[in-house]
Structure 1
Amino acid sequence: MSIYIGNLSYEVTEADLSAVFAEYGSVKRIQLPTDRETGRMRGFGFVELSSDAEEQAAIEALDGAEWMGRDLKVNKAKPRENNRGSFGGGNRRGGDRFSPNSKRF
C-alpha cells in the first residue's frame, strides 16, 4: 500500500519528500505526477514506506501539518480505478444508426 499526499507545493522534490518521510520509516518509493502538457507538478504525490505501521505513523503525524507553506492532506492511497473512457461499456458504433448515411430508420 502507499500514502497519498495532497496539497503539496509545486516546488517539492522527491528528495524533499524522502527527507520528511524517512523520519517515520524506510522510504521504498516516491511518485510525483506531473501534467502531461506543461510538465509541472500536479500538487500531489505518493510515498511507499516499508511497513503499514510506518505508513500509519506518518499519516497520523503529517495529516494537517503545515509544510512548505501548505496544510498537507495525508492518508492511505486508494486503489486506482481502471474506468477511463468507458461510458456504460456499450458498442462504440452504436451511434451510427442515426447518421445521415445510414439506411436504417
Structure 2
Amino acid sequence: MGKKLYVGNINYRTSAEALESVFSEFGTVESISMVSDKYTGKFRGFSFVKMASEVEAKTAMENIDSQELDGRQLRVSMAIEKGPKKNREGQNL
C-alpha cells in the first residue's frame, strides 16, 4: 500500500511532471495531486505525492526535503490522513 507525502513551498510554475521526475529517483510515484484554489483554479503552492511504499516515501522525504526546485526550497513531510468529515453534532457525514 502506498504512502502519501505533503510537498510544500512549490514554485507556482513547477509542473506535476517536474515533481514526478524528482520523486521517481527514489521509487515508484503512484500519483501526484497539485492542489488548486477551488474558486480561482490557481495552483496553491503545495502538492501530495503518493509513493508505492512507505520505505520509498521515507527515502524520498529524507532526500528531497530542503532541496531546491525551480528556485524554491521544497518542504516534504508525511501527509496527515484526514478522518471522515463530521457535522456540527460530531456525527460522520
Deviation at 1:81, TM superposition (A): 4.4
Say what the alpha-carbon RMSD is for the aligned residues.
Answer: 1.7
The number of aligned residues is 88
One of 37, 60, 63 as aligned partner of 2:62: 60
Percent identical residues? 35
Aligned pairs for 1:1-105 within 5 A: 1-83=3-85, 86=88, 89=89
Q: Does 1 or 2 have the higher relative contact order (CA < 8 Å, sep 6+)?
A: 2
Which sections of structure 1, spanning at least 5 residues, go unmatched?
91-105
Moved over 6 A (4+): none
Which sections of structure 2, spanning at least 5 residues, go unmatched?
none
Task: Look at both structures and tell me which one has the larger radius of gyration over its CA atoms.
Answer: 1
TM-score (norm 2): 0.84
Higher strand content, 1 or 2: 2
Deviation at 1:85, TM superposition (A): 6.5
Distance 1:7 1:85 in 2: 32
Q: 1:84 to 1:15 in 2, by over 3 A?
A: farther
